[in-house]
Chains A and B, each alone.
Chain A
Amino acid sequence: MRVMAQMAMVMNLDKCIGCHTCSVTCKQAWTNRSGTEYVWFNNVETRPGLGYPRTYEDQEEWQGGWVRKPNGRIALRSGGRLKKLLTIFSNPKLPSIQDYYEPWTYDYETLLNSPQTDTFPVARPKSLLTGKDMNVEWSANWDDDLGGSQEHAVRDVMLRGIEDKVKMEFEQTFMFYLPRICEHCLNPSCAASCPSGAIYKREEDGIVLVDQDRCRGWRMCVSGCPYKKIYFNHKTGKAEKCTFCYPRIEVGIPTVCAETCVGRLRYIGLVLYDADKVLEAASIEDEHALYDAQRGCFLDPEDPDVRRAAEVAGIPADWIEAARKSPVWALINKFEVALPLHPEYRTMPMVWYIPPLSPVVDVVRDTGEDAEERGNLFAAIDTLRIPVEYLANLFTAGDPEPVTRVLKKLAAMRSYMRDINLGRDPDDSIPASVGMSGETMYEMFRLLAIAKYDERYVIPSAHAEQAHALEELATDCPVSDQGGGQQDLFGEGSGYPTPVAVENFRMLQDRQTSDTLASPGDKASRVNLLNWDGKGAPDGLFPARKDD
């Protein structure tokens, strides 16, 4: 047993209202630069729909992820090392910018500089690649809210094999939102595809990152990732990806997407897993067994043997403690309501989803029946094949059984809690019908419905930093590290660097709580260069001139 810790996320899709706040705040924080105009580390897709980039789930076409060979070993679907090197001069499976979308801006100058006219002046869209006029034909969420429409949704790869039923029961169309970030897989095929070895998985928390100094722009990772969550920055010529906001995670605050989520549907926590089991689990023949196999890799932090092994493996005690309180662990292995996205890619993804019950509830309510009654919901789950089979294509490699089980748990929770909320006697036969006790069901309800900030995000801060802080107090001599670290002896640069996230956090706090404007007139004020867009010179950037 080789215990490793992984920072993971679970999203409760029933609560997603498709507001795109996560996408926008993520973009503001990470990809608001030239070269990454088309890049969304976090995007929200309407499903059924084409996704971003279009039809990225069609691995026959894009050749992402792993595939099991007849000899029982897994190999990259797009070919092994030698083939990668032979095709390095022209990547055969790279999505073009048209598969994402051509980024654009608007010619706002014409609006500002227009003389008075009878008609309104128009700001025309200009391509950010060529600067020329362009027709906007697609974007990262062009088919937003068009789930089930014949034009876009029928081309959804996940509807293959069940398309006849979709047409037949078109009046029962359904739609839900799927927010996606990098999966920070246990068995990342992007890292395996990188010829330079620039993509690595962090030992401490399993976050998958691209070393920008080692990336040489071969673009194999873009093809290798089946979720198409690695992007090529066309200005710097380097690959970039979701970082799980590691500077924030390291100091114990959640990712930007989770922090700003309006529906509070994201959960972040640690999962302990056995690294020795990962390859074996990823190589299992039956695709339907992959979901259980991946769950089998996770280690129960309540088990004393696991805790001892984790300590031996060098995982700090506060991290083990955090793993015990992890909401992600609870949703995946205790309540068993979270499912992985596309386990059939065999990458062992670590962002899991609670499938939405709302398509089922909507149908029941539209028939005029009681949509909170267990019997009605159970019957609907059993008869409504489309949502269930579609969800199964997304989350369980097409096996409807686990999806049905999860949906029934959610349905049971709905009926059970209605009784409690209305002051009736709770009916313990309801949780029993889905194999849960009343107490566990109530606990699950608490976590899904009313869990507070510190219950949804259980993030132990990076241990190296804590050790460091302790060292600074007791064991470190201020002049002992000259030349070794970043600090200088005197002046502004002295002392240890404050983690970026903490500095921003404090600055934001100052701004929100101070009575004056963000840049008060006193001498100590500084301009936050991180918020400066590079245009013009804000007040305080330079000291005032003498003659002013």
Chain B
Amino acid sequence: MNVFLWVIVPYLCLATFVVGHVWRYRYDKFGWTTRSSQLYEDRLLRLGSPLFHFGMLGVVGGHVIGLLVPRSWTAAIGIDDHLYHYVAVGGGLVAGVAALVGMTILIYRRRTVGPVFSATTVMDKVMYAFLGAAIVLGMWNTIAGSIFSLGGEYNYREGVSVWYRSFLAFQPDAELMADAPIGFQLHALVAFGLFALWPFTRLVHVFSAPIGYLTRPYIVYRSRDSRPGQPGSTPSRRGWDRVG
């Protein structure tokens, strides 16, 4: 059972995540979009969307630090557990609350604004359920586990994080996860469910974050010939100079 939950399921989800994105990018570039609904409604979005997205950026950053940086590394640069704990819980709370409040506003908007609601797909709803559950469980772990120490002390940096790194290194150690509190276990499972859904939802827009905009020239020029197979154009052939 442990092997199934903490080895097989995560790898299946990871495979779906990777293969799904490759497939979607190759076959559905046209569908790769944020599917913004700002045209319909602006007031609530203006408040909720930046709150949610910046909150999520903080949450993701926190996860990267918490999961990928071993305890020995932070100790080596002189950050003891106590300080780390304060920073992690403090930062995690701020980002988590921002994301949660933002998401609440956005879901309220989605349900109450007519055009936005009619533009919501089934896949959106499923995705919101997983995303919402992951955020709520994550908040629960932070508040109940790290602040009030319900269910005993648990240092995830000794358990979940180590398992996660072993998982990424393809040497998974299921026991570490089996010993984790139920809150962490559920959070991890829901998150992997979300990863499996990811390529089939609007979440793909995360991977088109336009960082290149900062460095590219403002005006893009492109030759008609750079799109082979289009009617009225032909790719330039090897061995022949393009005429004109």
- List residues of A whose CB falls within 8 A of some B CB: 81-82, 84-85, 87-92, 94, 96-97, 127, 129-132, 187-188, 191-192, 194-197, 199-205, 212-219, 232, 234-238, 247, 250-251, 314-317, 319, 462-465, 467-468, 471, 484-486, 497-500
A247 lies within 8 A of B208 (CB): no
Instruction: Report if A85-B214 is in contact (Cβ < 8 Å); known contacts: A202-B224, A464-B224, A464-B225.
Output: yes
Chain A residue numbers with a CB within 8 Å of B114 are 129-130, 132
Q: Which 4 A-B pairs have the closest CB atoms?
A: A195-B210, A316-B244, A237-B33, A192-B218
Can you list 20 residue pairs at the A/B interface with Cβ under 8 Å?
A: A81-B214, A85-B210, A87-B50, A90-B42, A92-B46, A94-B38, A94-B39, A194-B213, A196-B208, A196-B213, A197-B213, A197-B216, A202-B222, A217-B33, A217-B205, A232-B39, A314-B242, A316-B244, A485-B235, A486-B229
A129 lies within 8 A of B213 (CB): no
B56 — nearest CB in chain A belongs to which residue? Answer: A89
Beyond the given A247-B232, A467-B234, A471-B234, please list 10 additional residue pairs across the A-B interface where CB-CB is below 8 A: A97-B39, A200-B222, A215-B33, A218-B34, A218-B210, A237-B34, A462-B224, A465-B232, A465-B234, A467-B242
Instruction: Report if A199-B210 is in contact (Cβ < 8 Å); known contacts: A214-B29, A462-B232, A500-B231.
Output: no
Q: How far is the CB of A373 from chain B (nearest CB, A)?
A: 49
Chain B residue numbers with a CB within 8 Å of A201 are 219-222
A234 lies within 8 A of B244 (CB): no
B220 lies within 8 A of A89 (CB): no
In the complex, the number of residue pairs spanning A and B with C-beta atoms less than 8 Å apart equals: 165
Q: How far is the CB of B121 from chain A (nearest CB, A)?
A: 11
A192 to B220, CA, bound (A): 8
| Residue B36 is within 8 A (CB to CB) of chain A in the complex | yes
A96 — nearest CB in chain B belongs to which residue? Answer: B42
A216 lies within 8 A of B34 (CB): yes
Question: Of residues 29 to 77 in B, which have CB atoms within 8 Å of A's CB atoms?
Answer: 29-42, 45-46, 49-50, 52-54
B207 — nearest CB in chain A belongs to which residue? Answer: A216
| Residue B112 is within 8 A (CB to CB) of chain A in the complex | no
- List residues of B whose CB falls within 8 A of some A CB: 29-42, 45-46, 49-50, 52-54, 114-115, 118-119, 205, 208, 210-214, 216, 218-225, 228-229, 231-235, 242-244
Chain B residue numbers with a CB within 8 Å of A127 are 115
Of the candidates A91, A96, A216, A497, the one whose C-beta lies within 8 Å of that of B33 is A216
B234 lies within 8 A of A195 (CB): no
Of the candidates B37, B53, B223, B243, the one whose C-beta lies within 8 Å of that of A89 is B53
Chain B residue numbers with a CB within 8 Å of A92 are 46
Chain A residue numbers with a CB within 8 Å of B29 are 213-214
A81 lies within 8 A of B118 (CB): no
Of the candidates A84, A203, A319, the one whose C-beta lies within 8 Å of that of B224 is A203
B50 — nearest CB in chain A belongs to which residue? Answer: A89
A87 to B216, CA, bound (A): 19
Chain A residue numbers with a CB within 8 Å of B229 are 485-486
A217 lies within 8 A of B243 (CB): no
Chain B residue numbers with a CB within 8 Å of A471 are 234
Among B36, B53, B119, B229, the most chain A Cβ lie within 10 Å of the Cβ of B36
Chain B residue numbers with a CB within 8 Å of A247 are 231-232
Chain A residue numbers with a CB within 8 Å of B30 are 212-213, 236, 238
A250 — nearest CB in chain B belongs to which residue? Answer: B232
B118 lies within 8 A of A234 (CB): no
Of the candidates A89, A212, A464, the one whose C-beta lies within 8 Å of that of B54 is A89
Instruction: Report if A314-B38 is in contact (Cβ < 8 Å); known contacts: A201-B220, A236-B33, A464-B234.
Output: no
Instruction: Report if A90-B45 is in contact (Cβ < 8 Å); known contacts: A219-B36, A484-B235.
Output: yes
Chain A residue numbers with a CB within 8 Å of B235 are 484-485
A129 lies within 8 A of B118 (CB): yes
A234 lies within 8 A of B243 (CB): no
Chain B residue numbers with a CB within 8 Å of A467 are 234, 242-244
Among A89, A197, A218, A467, the most chain B Cβ lie within 10 Å of the Cβ of A89
A496 — nearest CB in chain B belongs to which residue? Answer: B234
Q: How far is the CB of B226 from chain A (nearest CB, A)?
A: 9
A314 lies within 8 A of B36 (CB): no
A217 to B37, CA, bound (A): 10
Instruction: Report if A464-B232 is in contact (Cβ < 8 Å); known contacts: A89-B50, A195-B210.
Output: yes
A94 lies within 8 A of B42 (CB): yes
Chain B residue numbers with a CB within 8 Å of A218 are 34, 36, 210
A385 to B132, CA, bound (A): 63
Q: How far is the CB of B166 from chain A (nearest CB, A)?
A: 35
B118 lies within 8 A of A130 (CB): yes
Of the candidates B38, B53, B210, B219, the one whose C-beta lies within 8 Å of that of A188 is B219
Q: How far is the CB of A86 from chain B (nearest CB, A)?
A: 9
Instruction: Report if A129-B243 is in contact (Cβ < 8 Å); known contacts: A195-B210, A200-B221.
Output: no
Instruction: Report if A203-B221 is in contact (Cβ < 8 Å); known contacts: A85-B213, A214-B29.
Output: yes
Of the candidates B50, B115, B216, B219, the one whose C-beta lies within 8 Å of that of A90 is B50
Chain A residue numbers with a CB within 8 Å of B41 are 96
A237 lies within 8 A of B40 (CB): no
Chain A residue numbers with a CB within 8 Å of B225 are 464
Q: How far is the CB of B108 from chain A (nearest CB, A)?
A: 16
A90 lies within 8 A of B46 (CB): yes
Q: How far is the CB of A246 from chain B (nearest CB, A)?
A: 8
A251 lies within 8 A of B232 (CB): yes
Q: How far is the CB of A485 from chain B (nearest CB, A)?
A: 6
A247 to B232, CA, bound (A): 8
B219 lies within 8 A of A191 (CB): yes
B36 lies within 8 A of A204 (CB): no
Chain B residue numbers with a CB within 8 Å of A485 are 228-229, 234-235
Chain A residue numbers with a CB within 8 Å of B40 are 96-97, 129, 234
Q: How far is the CB of B34 from chain A (nearest CB, A)?
A: 4
A238 lies within 8 A of B220 (CB): no
Among A219, A467, A499, the most chain B Cβ lie within 10 Å of the Cβ of A467
B43 — nearest CB in chain A belongs to which residue? Answer: A96
Q: How far is the CB of A167 from chain B (nearest CB, A)?
A: 34
Chain A residue numbers with a CB within 8 Å of B118 are 129-131
A465 — nearest CB in chain B belongs to which residue? Answer: B232
